[in-house]
Amino acid sequence: MVCAAIPLASVLRGEIRRTRRFARVSRRTVVDRPLSVLLVLSSADPLAQSVISGIRGHCVLTCESAEQALVAVRQGFAPDVALVDTRIAMDGQLVSDLVVAVGRNSLPCVALRPSSSPRPSGFDGELTLPATAREIELTLETVSLLTASVPA
């Protein structure tokens, strides 16, 4: 598959631009099922609505703390991707803990960070808050492409 070699982090950092050719390929190969999204973000946050609206059409579990996210995964929620607000969990420890709890070799984790915050470590990609619904949609489309090309 053409998109299998595109690293998620490179796409999210903008190192790989969406070209017309890539857009055509992505529309054909996006997973037909909704993604399971673990969203670690305070629902009281004024930015939450734009993030949540970008996830429509996918299965989303919103957790308001790192501990709550870990409990959900340990109790059986199997996310395809985690979107983590770095104001809640700044370090990559949550990412490591989630990967262990999920029981797979990897779990794409995207940092949602305010522009004033330092770059987080341990994440596969990042989006600067406030992120638009379209930016969230493109991120999930990229994850969908990558999960479709990874053998189960």
pLDDT value of residue 81:
93
- pTM value is 0.74
pLDDT value of residue 125:
86
pLDDT value of residue 36:
92
Specify the fold of 2-149: Rossmann fold (3.40.50)
The H or E element spanning position 113 is strand 109-114
- Cβ atoms of 122 and 93 within 8 Å: the answer is yes
**Biggest CA-to-CA distance, the chain:** 41
Contacts of 7 (CB under 8 A, 6+ apart): none
CA-based angle 47:143:25, to the nearest 5? 120
Domain ranges of the chain: 2-149
The pLDDT profile of the chain, 152 residues, written as one tens digit per residue, is: 222 333 444 444 444 344 333 333 334 344 467 899 999 987 777 777 778 888 888 899 999 999 999 999 999 999 999 999 988 876 678 888 998 999 887 889 999 988 888 878 888 888 888 888 888 988 898 888 876 655 55
Instruction: Give how far the C-alpha of residue 42 lies from the chain's centroid of Cα atoms, to the nearest Å.
Output: 16
Report helix, strand and coil shares of the chain as percent, to nearest 5. Answer: 40, 15, 45
